[in-house]
């Protein structure tokens, strides 16, 4: 599937841009944040609630769905959209991140990655060909090439070897691809080395994918290092293709990175923080378990119009959280995702007004 990515507006003060492209299941307006639905669900929310928040696309996890319930099961049940009752677009990752996050359970070779299931210990070999096969069976609109992110402490030699192996795996993914109704994105790597980042970007873009991702960041590095890696990669990514920064980030990260030319993001931060009682608001983070909210009858965020903020007080949200009530986690999740959605809308408006660069520069100084 050749994505027809159209840039509708460039910001005159940064590299930020507003764009759009279509998939089988609808139009995606960029910049975009994708809620993470690891196991075919955005935790605690009904798909209709996610849609009502205004999201065009969600992300699901290839590795986890491969292990349970199995991609063959999902395929037999008419694909991931029908299985999870989500009518809009879906992106599936390749399983590459699990190579990094579960590296104590993996053994990497040129053929692929052998890993022990975190569920029952059974061993599996995930290859580029199998990763593509799983994603084609799941039926996502956007699928990702299989890659090898590296740990921050990796040596230069290993980082170079892994980056070059990711390029070879990317070629195998293109060869293995059979479905033409799915967009396939390539992933650039290179660790924290500017030269390796440049080399990887040039190698991956030469292969001709439908879009391009920057992988291997947001793994513990500083904001300055992350920004530097984006800055040395972005000039080598095609202007006419979507650019996806994987696993990022905070609301402020979205502002900074859109200003650096990024179009797409995903991160567990809004949903995971919601489950831990950390809430993003226009007045800064709120830790809802703090005792100062015991009798606070004000809304969580006076500038937010989400269901949580319109109907419930900080005191009630604290009560739910301290009582271990599921409703508390649900309401927290609704708000955090609404906040991210609102942040994206503010970024789009800043691009329309040609002042995203000023906003991003202010954040860089803080």
- Residues annotated catalytic, as ranges: 93, 266
| DSSP label of 299 | B
- Closest of 239, 214, 145, 129 to residue 183, by C-alpha: 145
Q: Measuring CA to CA, which residue among 175, 183, 141 is closest to residue 4?
A: 183
* Pairwise CA distance, residues 62 & 42, whole Å: 15
For residues 321 and 196, what is the distance between their CA atoms, to the nearest angstrom? 45
DSSP type of residue 313: B
Euclidean distance between CA atoms 155 and 172, whole angstroms: 26
Contact 192, 152 (CB under 8 A): yes
Compute φ and ψ for 142, nearest 5 degrees: -125, 125
Check the CA dihedral 60-62-68-74 and report its sign: positive
| Cα–Cα distance measured from residue 279 to residue 202, given in angstroms and rounded to the nearest whole number | 39
Bond prior to 31 in cis (omega within 30° of 0): yes
How many C-beta atoms surround the C-beta of residue 4 within 10 A?
9
Strand duo 211-214 + 243-245: pairing: parallel
| Residue 59 in tokens | 């992300």
Query: How far is the C-alpha of 182 from the C-alpha of 43, rounded, in Å?
Result: 25
Max distance between CA atoms of the chain, in angstroms, equals 61
Tokens of 320: 């739910």
């Amino acid at each position: 599937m050749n994505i027809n990515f159209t840039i509708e507006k460039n910001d005159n003060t940064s590299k930020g841009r507003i764009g759009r492209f279509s998939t089988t299941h609808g139009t995606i307006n960029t910049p975009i944040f994708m809620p993470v639905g690891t196991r075919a669900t955005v935790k605690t929310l009904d798909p209709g609630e996610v849609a009502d928040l205004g999201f065009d696309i969600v992300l699901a996890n290839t590795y986890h769905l491969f292990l349970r319930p199995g991609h063959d099961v999902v395929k037999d049940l008419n694909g991931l959209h029908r299985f999870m009752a989500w009518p809009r677009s879906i992106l599936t990752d390749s399983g590459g991140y699990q190579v990094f996050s579960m590296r104590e359970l993996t053994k990497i070779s040129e053929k692929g990655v052998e890993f022990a299931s975190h569920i029952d210990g059974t061993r599996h070999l995930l290859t580029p060909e199998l990763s593509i096969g799983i994603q084609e069976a799941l039926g996502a609109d956007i699928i990702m090439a299989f890659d090898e992110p590296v740990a921050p402490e990796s040596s230069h030699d290993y980082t170079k070897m892994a980056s070059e192996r990711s390029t070879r795996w990317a070629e195998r993914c293109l060869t293995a691809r059979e479905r033409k109704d799915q967009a396939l994105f390539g992933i650039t790597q290179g660790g924290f080395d500017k030269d390796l980042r440049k080399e990887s970007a040039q190698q991956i873009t030469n292969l001709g994918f439908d879009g391009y991702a920057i992988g291997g960041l947001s793994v513990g590095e500083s904001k300055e290092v992350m920004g530097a890696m984006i800055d040395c990669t972005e000039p080598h990514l095609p202007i006419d293709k979507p650019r996806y920064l994987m696993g990022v980030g905070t609301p402020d990260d979205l502002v900074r990175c859109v200003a650096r030319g990024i179009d797409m993001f995903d991160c567990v931060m809004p949903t995971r923080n919601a489950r831990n009682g950390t809430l993003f608001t226009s007045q800064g983070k709120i830790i809802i378990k703090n005792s100062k909210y015991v009798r606070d009858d004000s809304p969580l965020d006076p500038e937010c119009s989400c269901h949580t903020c319109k109907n419930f007080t900080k005191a009630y949200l604290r009560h739910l959280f301290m009582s271990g009530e599921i409703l508390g986690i649900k309401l927290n999740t609704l708000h955090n995702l609404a906040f991210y959605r609102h942040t994206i809308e503010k970024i789009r408006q800043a691009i329309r007004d040609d002042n995203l660069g000023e906003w991003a520069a202010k954040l860089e100084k803080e």
